[in-house]
């Protein structure tokens, strides 16, 4: 208890991942679902940095993976928000239950 | 219990508490603000792990970019004072159960696994090292993913413009 090991940090990132999963399961608003996806991506980033720091301190690969994940998350958020705005124009709503034309 | 440990627990409580509130609160604007708090907490965790560059990247891109984008899209699409409808009772109960089970399973694996830890004191990230290795074409260089990501960003930018563009002029042309 007197020293933070990698297990503590993995606890935080695992808990954050499953909080994001809970949000993705329960929310039906597209913007809040996007927020849940951001939480999940951030928990993965914490894992990369923690493994880099505690297991391979002489290398930098985890840092690079974190940078690339952040970049791709930014691109993903931009495309998702473009889709959300387009959906709002055609349906006047961003609830996923209202956009069921292609469901079956 | 030294100061570093206490700071780690405070940061973790901030991240997890703000994260839980972000996915459970029913006002969408508050959800965005709690997401912001959680992301700032993650940046603080990067500072705690002594990767200042990643912490700066996190603050610039997430806090300065993505959350602002989300808040703008909330203002464009929603009345932000309204409460969202409650999730169905069955859905939230079973989601919570599956999430708790998944968390217990995963954390049990993590807890029983023995990581071969080396001494964490030697880990230091210099920005010059990151830059050199990022653009190096030799072994362990990351120049190819760097270029691929730049193409991806360009494609995402053009794709966003095309998707969000109003198609009124084209319809007007075909109608006339």
pLDDT digits (tens, 9 = 90+) for B23-47: 999 888 899 999 999 999 999 999 9
Residue B170: which pLDDT band, with cuts at 50, 70 and 90? low
Q: What is the CA radius of gyration of chain B?
A: 22
Task: Give the class (CATH, top level) of B1-82.
Answer: mainly alpha
Q: Is A33 on the interface with B (CB under 8 A)?
A: no
Please give the pLDDT value at position B172. Answer: 59
Q: What DSSP state is assigned to residue A6?
A: H
Which stretch of DSSP H or E encloses residue B108? helix B89-112
Q: Is the Cβ–Cβ distance between B35 and B73 less than 8 Å? A: no
Question: pLDDT higher for A13 or B87?
Answer: A13
Q: What DSSP state is assigned to residue B60?
A: I
What pLDDT digit, counting tens, does each position of B69-128 carry?
Answer: 999 999 888 776 677 778 788 888 999 999 999 999 999 999 898 887 766 556 778 888
Indicate the pTM of the whole model: 0.89
Mean pLDDT of B149-161: 93
Token match 């951001």: residue?
Answer: A38
Angstrom distance (rounded) from CA B131 to CA B126: 9
Please give the pLDDT value at position B37. Answer: 94
HSE-CB of B121 using CA atoms within 13 angstroms: 1
- Chain B 115-174, CB below 8 Å of chain A: which residues? 115-120, 122-123, 125, 129-130, 133-134, 140, 142, 145, 149, 152-153, 156-157, 159-161, 163-164, 166
The answer to whether the complex's ipTM is over 0.85 is yes
Q: What DSSP state is assigned to residue A92?
A: S
What residue ranges do the domains of chain B occupy?
1-82, 126-176
**Interface residue of A51, A62, A64, A73 to substitute, partner B, most B CBs within 10 Å:** A64
Angstrom distance (rounded) from CA B76 to CA A88: 9
Q: Is the Cβ–Cβ distance between A10 and B45 less than 8 Å? A: no
Rounded to 5 degrees, what are φ and ψ at B27?
-100, 130
- Chain B 66-105, CB below 8 Å of chain A: which residues? 66, 69-70, 73-74, 76-78, 84-85, 87, 91-92, 95-96, 98-100, 102-103
The encoded tokens of residue B89 equal 């009772």
Q: Is the Cβ–Cβ distance between B143 and B135 less than 8 Å? A: yes
Please give the pLDDT value at position B61. Answer: 92
What residue ranges do the domains of chain A occupy?
6-98
Short-list A75, A6, A1, A24, CA closest to B5: A1
| Minimal C-alpha gap between B176 and chain A (Å) | 22
Domain A6-98, CATH number (from 1.10.220.110, 3.40.50.720, 1.10.287.3510, 3.30.310.50): 1.10.287.3510
């Amino acid at each position: 208890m007197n020293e933070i090991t990698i297990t503590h940090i993995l606890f935080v990132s695992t808990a954050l991942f499953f909080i994001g999963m809970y949000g993705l399961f329960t929310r039906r608003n597209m913007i809040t679902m996007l927020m849940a996806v951001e939480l999940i991506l951030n928990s993965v980033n914490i894992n990369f940095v923690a493994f880099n720091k505690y297991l391979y301190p002489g290398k930098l690969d985890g840092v690079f993976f974190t940078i690339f994940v952040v970049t791709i998350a930014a691109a993903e958020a931009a495309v998702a928000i473009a889709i959300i705005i387009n959906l709002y124009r055609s349906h006047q709503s961003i609830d996923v239950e209202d956009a069921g034309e292609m469901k079956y | 219990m030294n100061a570093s440990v206490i700071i780690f627990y405070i940061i973790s409580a901030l991240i997890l508490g703000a994260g839980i509130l972000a996915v459970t609160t029913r006002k969408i604007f508050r959800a965005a603000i709690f997401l912001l708090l959680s992301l700032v907490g993650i940046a603080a965790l990067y500072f705690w792990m002594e990767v200042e560059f990643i912490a700066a990247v996190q603050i610039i891109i997430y806090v300065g970019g993505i959350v602002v984008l989300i808040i703008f899209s909330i203002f464009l699409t929603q009345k932000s004072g309204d409460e969202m409808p409650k999730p169905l009772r069955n859905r939230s109960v079973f989601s919570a159960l599956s999430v708790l089970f998944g968390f217990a399973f995963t954390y049990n694996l993590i807890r029983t696994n023995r990581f071969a830890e080396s001494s964490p004191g030697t880990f230091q990230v210099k920005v010059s090292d990151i830059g050199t290795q990022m653009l190096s074409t030799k072994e362990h260089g990351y120049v190819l993913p760097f270029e691929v990501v730049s193409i991806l960003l360009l494609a995402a930018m053009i794709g966003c413009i095309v998707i969000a563009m109003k198609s009124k002029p084209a319809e007007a042309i075909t109608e006339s």
